[in-house]
């Protein structure tokens, strides 16, 4: 916290452009949000709250809590305390009473990632003011966090049990559903494609679903074929896992921590290939964005990176030290190749962002693949639904908290666009909209008030 306070005096990222052209004024935004929250408050989730609204809900409360942490603003503390306590009595913020482990068709959804995003911000908000609250307040708030976190953890564990029924005892040899082969046949992911380029899949497109490959190289070599198992490890589950994992660290709850770590290890084992590509690449091409799956996979990687960073503060380095040669349907490591680690996934994400890895969106309906820049899954720009102006993708920002944990990945120099590390400009320098996920200039989950201000030294 001393480092954060010192940055309020010397910067950067206090006001716009004080780091470089296009850099955000994070402290200006945070203080403005805090002022608005003190004046207007935040009712928290409501029964009518839309899914997308969860992405921003509670942001101003979190920013007010951060302002209190760094400046001891009494008005901010009072408003945040009222907000936190109000949510403990808010029916819409009681996940066990409002969410189901399975839907009406007895299907276990991937995760409640909208609600998880809100819970994650609530946890961060509480952590910023926790030391100033009474013991009674802390018990009430922590009990609310605990019951919501357990709902999310149970839901994720229940879903993953459908493929590894004995996973809680460490048995991955027993496999069912898409983790098992039937008469030697693998459950490969397939889908219908937007074959006519109008940004939708309908009767005007090829009727037959096609196989899904992670990418194709410019020399025509295709990347891994994606299985249904690998696509179970997606941005939705990653959000839930980070939320209940953060709750576990906050509450010193070994069950929640173990559940979050277990899923993260499974993602690296069954959802990541030795070349760092991921099952989420199955989403490439969505919204007419060739690298949409790469963007989604950034949430997987950021979830693991953020979880690793908060666990390390408790002396637990197991996530960044985890390595495996295991896998299924191509994710296993063969021969003398290096085992997979968190750094494997991060290095590939950064390589694609900065164009040192050049892969393209594989189009199975095309006899001749398209190796033009318009079909690249690398680079920082995307055109949502063929928009005229590009978005500047900065989803790698969520990796910055793990910069000191994995020095070999060169995270900070690349993310901060240091000269000598990359030729890419700082996102926003062009004036185009910068996208990092749900938040504004922060991690993909909108958990932190500012990744840049809270970055490790």
Structure confidence by residue, pLDDT tens digits, 47-104: 999 988 999 999 999 999 999 999 999 999 999 999 999 999 999 999 999 998 877 7
Distances from the Cα of 228 to the Cαs of 180, 191, 328, in angstroms?
11, 11, 11
**Distance (Å, whole) CA 394 – CA 428:** 9
CA-nearest of 363, 369, 362, 359 to 196 is 363
E-only strand ranges, 135-222: 190-191, 210-211, 216-217
Taking a C-beta distance cutoff of 8 angstroms, is the pair 81, 133 a contact?
yes
224 three-state secondary structure: coil
Average pLDDT over the chain, rounded to whole?
96
Whether residue 18 has pLDDT greater than 80: yes
pLDDT digits (tens, 9 = 90+) for 106-165: 677 789 999 999 999 999 999 999 999 999 999 999 999 999 999 999 999 999 999 999
**Distance (Å, whole) CA 72 – CA 129:** 10
Taking a C-beta distance cutoff of 8 angstroms, is the pair 195, 254 a contact?
no
Whether residue 15 has pLDDT greater than 80: yes
> How many residues appear in the chain?
457
C-alpha neighbours within 13 Å on the C-beta side of residue 212? 25
- Structural domains in the chain? 2-435 (1.50.10)
pLDDT digits (tens, 9 = 90+) for 155-202: 999 999 999 999 999 999 999 999 999 999 999 999 999 999 999 999
Would strands 216-217 and 210-211 be described as parallel, antiparallel, or unpaired? unpaired
Predicted confidence at residue 11, as pLDDT, reads: 95
What share of the chain has pLDDT > 90, as a percent?
95
**Distance (Å, whole) CA 31 – CA 106:** 46
CA-nearest of 78, 152, 91 to 117 is 152
Whether residue 439 has pLDDT greater than 90: no
- Which residues contact residue 94 at a Cβ distance below 8 angstroms, ignoring those fewer than 6 apart? 144, 147, 148
Taking a C-beta distance cutoff of 8 angstroms, is the pair 161, 263 a contact?
no
pLDDT digits (tens, 9 = 90+) for 349-394: 999 999 999 999 999 999 999 999 999 999 999 999 999 999 999 9
What's the farthest any 2 CA atoms get from each other in the chain? 67
C-alpha neighbours within 13 Å on the C-beta side of residue 391? 19
Distances from the Cα of 443 to the Cαs of 173, 197, 300, 393, 428, in angstroms?
35, 31, 12, 12, 16
Residue range 2-17: mean pLDDT, rounded: 95
């Amino acid at each position: 916290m001393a480092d954060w306070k010192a940055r309020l005096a010397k910067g950067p990222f206090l006001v716009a452009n004080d780091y470089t052209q296009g850099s955000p004024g994070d402290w200006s935004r945070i203080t403005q949000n805090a002022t608005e929250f003190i004046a207007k408050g935040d009712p928290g989730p409501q029964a009518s709250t839309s899914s997308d609204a969860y992405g921003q809900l509670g942001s101003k409360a979190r920013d007010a809590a951060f302002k209190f942490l760094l400046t001891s603003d009494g008005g901010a503390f009072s408003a945040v305390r009222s907000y936190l306590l109000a949510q403990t009595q808010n029916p819409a913020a009681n996940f066990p009473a409002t969410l189901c482990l399975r839907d009406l068709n007895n299907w276990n959804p991937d995760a409640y990632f909208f609600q998880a995003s809100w819970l994650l911000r609530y946890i961060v908000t509480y952590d910023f003011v926790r030391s100033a609250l009474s013991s009674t307040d802390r018990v009430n708030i922590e009990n609310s966090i605990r019951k919501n976190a357990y709902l999310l953890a149970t839901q994720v564990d229940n879903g993953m049990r459908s493929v590894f029924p004995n996973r809680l005892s460490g048995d991955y040899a027993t496999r069912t559903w898409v983790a098992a082969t039937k008469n030697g046949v693998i459950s490969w992911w397939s889908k219908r494609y937007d074959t006519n380029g109008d940004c939708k899949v309908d009767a005007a497109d090829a009727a037959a679903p096609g196989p899904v490959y992670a990418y194709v190289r410019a020399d025509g070599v295709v990347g891994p074929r994606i299985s249904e198992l690998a696509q179970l490890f997606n941005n939705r589950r990653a959000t839930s896992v980070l939320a209940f994992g953060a709750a576990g660290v906050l509450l010193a709850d070994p069950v929640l921590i173990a559940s979050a770590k277990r899923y993260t290890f499974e993602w690296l084992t069954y959802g990541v290939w030795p070349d760092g590509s991921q099952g989420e690449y199955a989403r490439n091409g969505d919204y007419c964005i060739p690298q949409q799956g790469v963007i989604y996979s950034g949430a997987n990687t950021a979830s693991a990176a953020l979880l690793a960073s908060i666990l390390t503060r408790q002396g637990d380095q197991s996530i960044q030290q985890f390595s495996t040669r295991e896998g299924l349907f191509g994710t296993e490591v063969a021969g003398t190749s290096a085992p997979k680690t968190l750094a494997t996934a991060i290095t590939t994400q950064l390589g694609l962002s900065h164009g040192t890895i050049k892969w393209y969106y594989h189009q199975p309906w095309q006899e001749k693949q398209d190796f033009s820049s318009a079909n690249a899954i690398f680079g920082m720009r995307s055109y949502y639904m063929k928009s005229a102006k590009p978005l500047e993708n900065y989803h790698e920002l969520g990796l910055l908290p793990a910069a000191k944990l994995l020095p070999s990945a060169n995270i900070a120099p690349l993310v901060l666009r240091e000269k000598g590390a990359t030729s890419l400009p700082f996102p926003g320098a062009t004036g185009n909209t910068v996208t990092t996920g749900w938040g504004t200039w922060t991690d993909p989950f909108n958990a932190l008030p500012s990744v840049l201000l809270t970055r490790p030294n």
